[in-house]
Structure 1
Amino acid sequence: MGYTVVLGEALVDLLDTERDGEPVYRQAIGGGPLNVAVGVARLGGAAQFVGSLGDDALAGRIRAFLAAAGVGLNGAVTVPAPTALAVVTHDGVEPDFRFYGEPRSYGLLSVDDLDAGLVEGADVLYCGSIVLLQPVVLAAARRAWSLAGGLRVFDPNVRPRLLDGPAALDGLRQVVAEFAAGAHLVKLSNADAALLYPGEPVEGVAAYLRELGAATVVVTLGADGAVLAAADADPVLVPAPKVNAVDTTGAGDSVMAALIADLLVDGAPADAAGWVDRVAFALRVAGVVCESPGGATSMPTRAQVLERFSR
C-alpha cells in the first residue's frame, strides 16, 4: 500500500466552552487538512503532512501530535512565525471560525519548500482548505498538483470570515474551478456549496463540478448524509447512520479521510455502486467522530468503526 500527501494547514483551535460557570477556551490541535491526515493514519493508511508550522511551543505540540498519530512530517517546514489560532464559537448549525496570527504560520509554504519526490511518489495527493487563500501556498499547491503522479483529491473547506468581500469570493470560485478540473475526487459540504454557488441545489453543484472535470463529487449534508455524483450515474443521496452526536468538529474531514484511506487500499471504484459503498462507510466514520468531543483526537480506527456499527 502506498501513501497520501496532505497539503494544507495545521493550527491550534480555541474552542468556546464553559468551566465552573465561566466562559473559557479549550485548546485543541486542528486544521481541516491535519484532521484528514490523522484520520487516514487512524484508518490504517500512510499519510505525510506537507505544510508550514510555526517556531513556538504550540508548533512543537502539533509536531508531537502528528508523530504520535503516525503521520509523517517529511514535508513539513518550520517558519519564523507564531502558530496561528482559530477561535471557534457556535451560534448556529455551522461553527464560526475567527483566525488570529500574522503572518499566518500555515501560509508560508513556498514552491521551493516542496519535496518534489515526496509528492510525485504519493498514491494520493490532497490539496485544499484555507491555505489556498494564501498566494505563496497557492503557488506551492499548484506545483504539487502538476507533479502528482497518483490520484488528486480536493476540498475547498470554505471559511467565510477569511473572504473579504465579493472579489475574494469570486477569486475562490476560480481556484475551486481550477482544482476541480483536475481532481479525481472533490469533497465539499453543503455550507461550502451554498456560499460558492448560492441558490443552486447541491445536486446541481455536484453536476457542475463534474462538468468542470472532477471525476467524482461528494457533498456532505450533515445528519442527512451526502450527495454523490460519480461515473455516468445521476447524483444520488447516500444516507447517514443514526448516531448520538455530541460534537460535529472534524466530521467532514473524517469523510475525506475515509475516502482517501480506501483509495490507498483499492484505488478508485470502477462504477457508481462502488462509490456508494465507499461513501456509506465514510459516513459511518463521521458518525463515530460525532459521538465524541474533539476533531483530530476523535478520528477512529477501522476496527472501532466496524465495532460501533455491528451492534
Structure 2
Amino acid sequence: MQASPQVTVLGECVADLLAEQDDGEAGLTLRMLPGGGPANTAVGLARLGTPSRLLARVSGDLFGRRIRAHLLSSGVDLSDAVAAREPSTLAIADIDPEGQAAYTFHARGTADWQWTGAELAAAGVGRSACVHSGSLALTLDPGGAAVEDFLAAARDRATVSIDPNIRTSLVDAEHYRRRLPGWCALADILRLSEDDLRELRPSSELGAACADLHRAGARLVVVTRGADGAVVSLDGARATIPGVAVDVVDTVGAGDSFTSGLLHRLGVRGLLGGRLDGATLDDVADACRYAARVAALTCSVAGPNPPWAHQVDAVMDDVDSLAAP
C-alpha cells in the first residue's frame, strides 16, 4: 500500500467532561478530556499515520490550551487553525452502565461556531486529497453556512466526507433533516450511526434510507451499528461488516475513530482525491473492517482516545493468526 495522502478535517474541538468520582453530598469530580467529533477524527488519522490537518477555532482559555497540546502531541497539523478569543465549548458526558454517553452542551457563543468565509478562504484546501467535516460546526450558525461553502469549493480538488453526528440535545432533528439533502449533494462519503439514521429517516428501513441518500448525491454511505458492526453501501451495492468483540469501557469517540480508520484505509489504497473513482465494494468493505477495529480499540479505553497504528496492527495480526489453518 502507498503512503496515505493528507486529510483536512474541519470542525469543532470540545472539552469533554466525564464524571470520575461521585461522593454524593461531597461533590462530583469531572475529568476533562479533549474531544469534539472532528478533533477526534483528526487525532485518529494522525495516530494511524495519515497526515492530518485540522481547521478549528481553538480557544485560548484553559480548556483550549489543553486541547491544543493534545492535538499537537498526536501529530495533528494546527498551522491553519484559528486562535479564537471566544471560550471553549463544554460537553458533559453522562455514561450509562453499558458505556453509552448522553451529552449536555454548554455552547452558546463559543469559539467553534464563529467561522467566517474569510477565515476559511485563508486556510484553503492546501494539498489535501480529502476534506472531512460534520457534526455541530456544520450545523450551528453563524459558521455553518461558511463551512458548507468551504466543502462545496473543496470538491474541485478533494474527496468530501461528512459525518452528521446528530446532537438533538442542542439542535432539533428537523433542522438536520432539512439540511441533509444539501450535505449529500456535497459528500462523496457519508458516515452516520444507526441512531443518526433513525432520527433522519424514522420510518425507513435501512436499504430504502441508503437509496434515498444515494439519490441525493452521496456515493458511499456507511451506517455504523455499534457492537453489530456496520453496513456499507456503494452506489446501492451493500455489504455487512461484523463488529469486533471488545470489553467496553465507554463508547465516547467510537464513531469518530471509525471515520478516521475508514479515511486512512481508503487513503493508503489510493482511493482519495476525487469522486472515489475506481473504488469497488470490496475496497470499501476492507476499509470498514479496518475501521471497525479502530473503533473497538477506542471503546476499550476511557473517553475519546483513538489508537495508534501499531495497536491496530497488533489486533489485526491476532485476528489473522486465529483465522489461519
Contact 2:138–2:148 (8 Å) recurs in 1: no
Partner of 2:168: 160
1:245 aligns with 2:248: yes
After TM superposition, the structure 1 stretch with the greater mean CA deviation from structure 2, 129-138 or 37-46, is 129-138
Partner of 1:87: 92
Equivalents in 1 of 2:217, 2:152: separation in Å?
Answer: 15
Partner of 2:60: 55
Structure 1 residues not aligned, in runs of 5+: none
Partner of 1:289: 298
Contact 1:132–1:141 (8 Å) recurs in 2: yes
Contact 2:266–2:284 (8 Å) recurs in 1: no
Distance 1:95 1:204, change over 3 A: farther
1:78 aligns with 2:86: no
Q: Which of 8, 18, 22 pairs up with 2:21?
A: 18
- Aligned partner of 2:20: which letter? T
1:218-272 alpha-carbon deviations (Å, 9 max, x no partner): 0000000001111341x33211121122121111101100111123222146211
Q: TM-score, normalised by structure 2?
A: 0.88
Partner of 1:217: 221
Partner of 1:227: 231
Contact 1:81–1:102 (8 Å) recurs in 2: no
After TM superposition, the structure 1 stretch with the greater mean CA deviation from structure 2, 168-177 or 36-45, is 168-177
1:110: Cα distance to partner?
Answer: 1.1
1:305 aligns with 2:308: no
Q: Which of 170, 187, 190 pairs up with 2:174?
A: 170
Distance 1:173 1:120, change over 3 A: farther
Contact 2:189–2:221 (8 Å) recurs in 1: yes
Aligned residues: 304
Contact 1:181–1:209 (8 Å) recurs in 2: no
1:100-153 alpha-carbon deviations (Å, 9 max, x no partner): 143122111211111456315321001100112222221221221122111000
CA-atom RMSD in angstroms? 1.9
Distance 1:101 1:184, change over 3 A: closer
Equivalents in 2 of 1:285, 1:171: separation in Å?
Answer: 31
1:270-302 alpha-carbon deviations (Å, 9 max, x no partner): 21111111111110111111111120xx21122
Partner of 1:142: 148
1:4-25 alpha-carbon deviations (Å, 9 max, x no partner): 1111100101112325676321
- Aligned partner of 1:305: which letter? V
- Aligned partner of 1:259: which letter? L
Contact 1:218–1:229 (8 Å) recurs in 2: yes
- Aligned partner of 1:62: which letter? I
Q: Which of 197, 201, 206 pairs up with 1:202?
A: 206
1:112 aligns with 2:118: yes
Partner of 1:278: 287
Equivalents in 2 of 1:133, 1:185: separation in Å?
Answer: 18
Equivalents in 1 of 2:295, 2:120: separation in Å?
Answer: 31
Percent identical: 33
Q: TM-score, normalised by structure 1?
A: 0.92
Structure 2 residues not aligned, in runs of 5+: 319-325
After TM superposition, the structure 1 stretch with the greater mean CA deviation from structure 2, 12-21 or 135-144, is 12-21
Equivalents in 2 of 1:117, 1:20: separation in Å?
Answer: 46
Equivalents in 2 of 1:261, 1:11: separation in Å?
Answer: 23
1:92: Cα distance to partner?
Answer: 7.4
Equivalents in 2 of 1:91, 1:286: separation in Å?
Answer: 19
